[in-house]
Structure formats: C-alpha cells, structure tokens
C-alpha cells in the first residue's frame, strides 16, 4: 500500500475513491440495495470536499488554502441540501397527521417518521424538482415545485419487506389527479391509512364489521376503531368537560333535547353505556343494499354498496387475471385505464382494451385496500378504490412529536405519545 501511495502521489485518493465506488456499486447491485448508492457521496466529502467535519472529535488542521466565508457557507449548505434530499427521497421522511381519519390510533397533530426502505424506496418520477418540497413552491398556491421535462417510469428498489395487513402506510392519494391532473404520481398528495387488504385478499364489510378472507379483521392493541353512534340522554346535556375527558371531539347535537350523534371508540361506547342519565347508545349503521352516497366505489348502479355494507371484493394481485363483463368493468376501469395506462372503450358489442375486444385482463401491478380507523369519518378505499403499488410511499414508524392545538401552554405537547411506535 505504501509503495502504491508513493507511486500515485496526490492521485492516490482519487484512484482509491474510484476503486471503492466501483466495488461498492457492484456490492449494492448484487444485494439489490439500490438505496445504498449514495454512500460514495459521504466518502467523497470525507476525502475531498470536507463540507462537514466527519471527525468531529478532532480539530481540523489549518488548511493552507483557507476558503472564504461565503464559499464555506455555500459548500456546507449545498452538501446539507443534497444529503437531506437523498435522506428524504430514499431513507426516511417526516409526515404530519392533518385529519381525523385515523383517530384514535393516530391523532391530528402527530408528527411521524416514515420509512422509505421498509417497502423499498421509489426512484422519483420527476427528478427535476425543488429540493425538500413536495408539489407546490412555498408561499404560492399553484406554482409547481417540479419540472416535467424529465419523466421516469415507476421503479422501486429492494426494501426490507412487503406491506403486511394492518400496517399504517403512507401513500400518494390515487384520486388526486381529478383535481390536479398535472401532478405525476410521486407528487400527488400524501395520505396515511391502515392497509386492511393485500393483493389476493377477499374483503367484505357486514354491518361495519370488516372480514378478510372470510374471517373478522384482526384487531391489535394499538388499533382503535371508531364509529358514529346515536346517543340519547334523559334530557341532560353533555358538558364539554365530559366530552374532553373521553377525548371526544367529533359529533353534533340533534334537534331533540338530549339527543346526539357522536364518534365513539369501543371504550367510549362501553363507558357511556354505564352512565345513569344515558338511555341509549346505538351504532348508526347504513342498511345493506342501499347506496345513498353515489361517491362510494365503484360508481355504478350495479353495486349497491355503502360504507357499512360493502363487497365482497378481491384485491388485484400482479400476474393474476380477471374476467371482464359490463358490470365489473367499473371496478377495474381505473386500474386498466389510469394506473396501467391502457386505452379502454366500453361499446355495445363488448369491452375494448387498446383497440382489441377483451374478455379478461391481467394485472401488471399489485394493489392494496386502505381504510381509516375512524370508519365513519375517513375518505378511503371505500370511496376511490384500490391503491396501486407505485403510489406507496412508505411505512409509518413512530411519533417523534405530538401537538394538541386545543390545549394550552406546555400541555400542548402530548408527552405520553412521544416516540411511540406505530402499529
């Protein structure tokens, strides 16, 4: 090694870096861990650029050629932006719970870390984008933070595992293209729901109870499903203090004195049933066979499904085929036409895919069924259908901060939720 250093002189570091990069890239390729390709950037900074002090326990030796203040700042900021972008794109990203669709499992104001490597990070569809911004430039309403000059096809790197039932998954909102057709998949709005159905599963909801492959959904300790209940008292009214004590913030007062419609968890329902002044606590269930909400998936008169009585429905799996007819085509229409980019025509004499009559279709991707734990206040797969695999962002890991906007002072921080793992 010493002889090689003497022979190469100042070029030794460059040669060593190139040799390491080739070996490392070969190793990453063999293990299919493409998200590790960024490691040579760190090595390069240690050897050449020195924007960060990686040997922070040692003092840096004075350089013969001292960089100017602005140049040092520019190099440090540039490296920080590049490192943060790589981290956010391929490893881990922060996410905030904006709505109550996952209450009480996840609360409004929870700040999460989402792992990109759990299911494998995606290569960005739009690599030309403003760093550390999702789809819109800060301070603007409609100015895109990306350029569509370069569009890449979907590719997911190898991850640590696959999506499992009941995982809390962050994904791009599939129906976002109705409002924002200009956004590519990776720039669609981010949503978080629980994956209740994986490829090949048969799902059915009977009177609010979810069945997966003929068996009741497995409820874990961390899952807190909520539903709408009709609550009737003997005429007494609920105080805000009572509702806050049980963390009840959703619902309304009905026309008759002492009658309410409240969103309750199973624990709340049991507690309320014991109150002496409460006469009735009854779950509000939409009757089977009646489709009052026309937005329920699929948007077809052939299916009289609703949020409480839905299915049975099979979640499509990659490589499997389904027979097509004039009724079920509305279940798979968006998959065929939008997600898998085929032309689709429904004519009197049959169904045409890419100009040819088709009696069946074979899926090119895996699909998932996502639902919120707050079952009667969640915009989920019951409204817009399946989530394609190319829309999956990552797995929610843990809560690093939780902020209650309704509390005051130091109590705004929900201390008991900090660093809780998400299940």
Is 91-201+367-423's fold the same as 226-283's? no
Tell me the average pLDDT of the chain. 87
60, pLDDT greater than 60: no
Mean pLDDT of 119-147: 90
Mean pLDDT of 270-275: 86
pLDDT of residue 70: 79
> What is the model's pTM?
0.85
62, pLDDT greater than 60: no
User: What are the sequence ranges of the domains in the chain?
Assistant: 2-88, 91-201+367-423, 226-283, 321-362
324, pLDDT greater than 70: yes
213-268 pLDDT, tens digit per residue, is 999 998 887 788 999 999 999 988 888 888 888 888 888 999 888 899 999 988 88
pLDDT of residue 317: 98
Domain topology for 226-283: Alpha-Beta Plaits (3.30.70)
CB 75 within 8 A of CB 367: no
C-alpha atoms less than 13 angstroms from C-alpha of 136 in its C-beta half-sphere: 10
Mean pLDDT of 323-330: 95
What CATH number was assigned to the domain covering residues 91-201+367-423? 2.10.109.10
Mean pLDDT of 321-333: 96
351-392 pLDDT, tens digit per residue, is 999 999 999 999 999 999 999 999 999 999 999 999 999 999
Using a pLDDT cut of 90, give the percent of the chain over it.
55
Question: In which order are the strands placed within the sheet that holds 356-357?
Answer: 344-347, 350-353, 356-357
Q: State the pLDDT confidence band at 313, using cuts at 50, 70 and 90.
A: very high
64, pLDDT greater than 60: no
391-400 pLDDT, tens digit per residue, is 999 999 999 9
164-208 pLDDT, tens digit per residue, is 999 999 999 999 999 999 999 999 999 999 999 999 999 999 999
């Amino acid at each position: 090694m010493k002889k090689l250093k003497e022979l190469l002189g100042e070029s030794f570091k460059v040669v060593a870096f190139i040799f390491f990069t080739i070996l490392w890239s070969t190793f990453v390729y063999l293990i299919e861990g493409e998200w590790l390709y960024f490691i040579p950037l760190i090595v390069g900074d240690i050897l050449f650029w020195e924007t960060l002090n990686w040997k922070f326990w040692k003092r840096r030796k004075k350089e013969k050629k001292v960089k100017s203040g602005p140049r040092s700042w520019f190099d440090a900021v540039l490296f920080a932006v590049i490192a943060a972008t790589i981290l956010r794109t391929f490893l881990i990203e922060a996410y905030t719970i904006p709505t109550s669709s996952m209450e009480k499992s996840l609360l409004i104001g929870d700040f999460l870390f989402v792992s990109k490597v759990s299911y494998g990070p995606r290569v960005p569809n739009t690599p030309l984008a403003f760093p550390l911004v999702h789809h819109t430039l800060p301070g603007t309403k409609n100015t895109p933070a990306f350029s569509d000059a370069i569009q890449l096809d979907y590719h997911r790197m190898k991850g640590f595992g696959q999506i499992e039932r009941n995982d809390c998954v962050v994904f791009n909102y599939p129906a976002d293209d109705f409002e924002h057709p200009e956004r590519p998949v990776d720039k669609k709005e981010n949503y978080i729901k629980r994956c209740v159905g994986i490829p090949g599963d048969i799902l059915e909801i009977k009177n609010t109870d979810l069945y997966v492959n003929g068996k009741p959904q497995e409820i874990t300790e961390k899952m807190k499903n909520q539903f709408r209940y009709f609550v009737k008292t003997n005429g007494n009214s609920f105080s805000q203090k009572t509702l806050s004590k049980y963390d009840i913030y959703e619902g309304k007062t009905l026309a008759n004195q002492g009658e309410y419609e409240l969103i309750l968890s199973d624990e709340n329902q049991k507690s309320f049933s014991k109150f002496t002044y409460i006469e009735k606590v009854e779950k509000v269930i939409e009757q089977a066979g009646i489709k009052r909400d026309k937005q329920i998936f699929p948007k077809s008169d052939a299916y009289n499904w609703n949020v409480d009585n839905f299915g049975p429905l099979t979640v499509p799996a990659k490589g499997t085929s389904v027979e097509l007819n004039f009724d079920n085509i509305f279940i798979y229409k968006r998959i065929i036409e939008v997600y898998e980019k085929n032309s689709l025509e429904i004519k009197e004499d049959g169904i045409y895919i890419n100009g040819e009559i088709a009696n069946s279709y074979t899926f090119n991707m895996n699909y998932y069924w996502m639902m919120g734990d707050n079952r009667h206040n969640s915009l989920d797969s019951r409204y817009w259908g399946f989530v394609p695999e190319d829309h999956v962002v990552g797995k929610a890991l843990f809560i690093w901060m939780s902020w209650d906007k309704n509390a005051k002072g130091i109590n705004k921080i929900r201390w008991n939720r900090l660093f809780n793992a998400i299940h």
